[in-house]
């Protein structure tokens, strides 16, 4: 009797690449395989044009994602921008006839019905960098290095444009469980913003707050991994 390892399909936060969750992978049970696919304009795809629309991002990745979850139990996970990508992916996969995920896990993101009203992608470079420092998503050594800033700033600005211009389409709720994670000191996501995810599913809903700001996740990897493991479950037996 063989077992099929569950897969956690992870979607990167703004400015991230396919290695964004390496530290989370180290905390996860080895039974769960974490997969993160590269978006255009970064990593191995650095020569491709950046995308500034969340739907285009998901459609770009949908083929590889569908192939990776064929016949395998899976869950979708995202932090910040990645949460919206994960939700969009869950809908498009269902439209293609792919079985529903075991769980949609969203972190540091308001529900789609509560879109962002900021326009940070239009800020000057100086003001944009100031916002990045405040949010805490970039390492100080990156923000203090002119060459690295020149590399990451276009990616971050494109991602912020995608997040800030996204407006969710009306549609029926999902049926899979949703797990929501939020930082208690995250000024970007209020408790009401996070609780509004409840309307996105007819399935079960679970929410956890943790100390920290917008990138609280990386200070609580073991606890986050435990919640993910519970949501994803163990491997399924197959012939």
Domain extent for 193: 2-111+172-228
Asked, for residue 141, whether it belongs to a domain, the answer is no
125 catalytic residue (yes or no): no
pLDDT at site 109: 97
Asked, for residue 129, whether it belongs to a domain, the answer is no
pLDDT at site 2: 54
Per-residue pLDDT of the chain (239 residues; tens, 9 = 90+): 455 789 999 999 999 999 999 999 999 999 999 999 999 999 899 999 999 999 999 999 999 999 999 999 999 999 999 999 999 999 999 999 999 999 999 999 999 998 787 888 998 988 988 888 888 767 666 667 778 888 889 999 999 999 999 999 878 999 999 999 999 999 999 999 999 999 999 999 999 999 999 999 999 999 999 999 999 985 554 43
pLDDT at site 238: 43
pLDDT at site 34: 96
pLDDT at site 59: 97
CATH at residue 176? 3.40.50.1820
pLDDT at site 9: 98
The pTM is what?
0.92
163 vs 209: CA distance, rounded Å: 23
Asked, for residue 53, whether it belongs to a domain, the answer is yes
Count of domains forming the chain: 1
pLDDT at site 137: 65
Sequence-ordered list of residues with C-beta below 8 angstroms from that of 125, at least 6 positions apart, any chain: 153
**pLDDT tens, position by position, 39-83:** 999 989 999 999 999 999 999 999 999 999 999 999 999 999 999
Q: Are 182 and 209 in contact (CB under 8 A)?
A: yes
Asked, for residue 144, whether it belongs to a domain, the answer is no
Asked, for residue 133, whether it belongs to a domain, the answer is no
Asked, for residue 25, whether it belongs to a domain, the answer is yes
Asked, for residue 92, whether it belongs to a domain, the answer is yes
Which residue of the set 23, 47, 56, 80 is catalytic? 80
Asked, for residue 162, whether it belongs to a domain, the answer is no
């Amino acid at each position: 009797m063989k077992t099929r390892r569950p897969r956690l399909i992870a979607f990167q936060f703004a400015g991230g690449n396919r290695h964004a969750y390496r530290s989370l992978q180290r905390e996860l049970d080895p039974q769960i395989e974490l997969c993160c696919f590269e978006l255009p304009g970064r990593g191995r795809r650095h020569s491709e044009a950046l995308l500034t629309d969340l739907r285009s991002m998901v459609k770009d990745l949908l083929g590889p994602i569908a192939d990776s979850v064929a016949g395998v139990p899976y869950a979708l996970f995202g932090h910040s921008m990645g949460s919206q990508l994960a939700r969009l992916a869950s809908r498009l996969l269902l439209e293609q006839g792919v079985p529903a995920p075991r769980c949609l896990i969203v972190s540091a993101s308001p529900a789609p019905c509560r879109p962002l009203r900021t326009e940070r992608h239009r800020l000057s470079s100086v003001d944009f960098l100031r916002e990045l420092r405040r949010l805490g998503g970039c390492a100080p050594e990156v923000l203090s290095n002119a060459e690295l800033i020149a590399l990451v700033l276009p990616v971050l600005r494109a991602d912020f444009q995608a997040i800030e211009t996204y407006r969710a389409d009306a549609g029926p709720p999902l049926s899979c469980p949703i797990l929501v994670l939020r930082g208690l000191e995250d000024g970007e996501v209020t408790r009401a913003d996070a609780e509004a995810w409840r309307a996105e599913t007819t399935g079960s809903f679970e929410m956890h707050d943790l100390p920290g700001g917008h990138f609280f996740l990386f200070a609580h990897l073991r606890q986050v991994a435990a919640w993910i493991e519970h949501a994803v479950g163990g491997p399924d037996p197959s012939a």
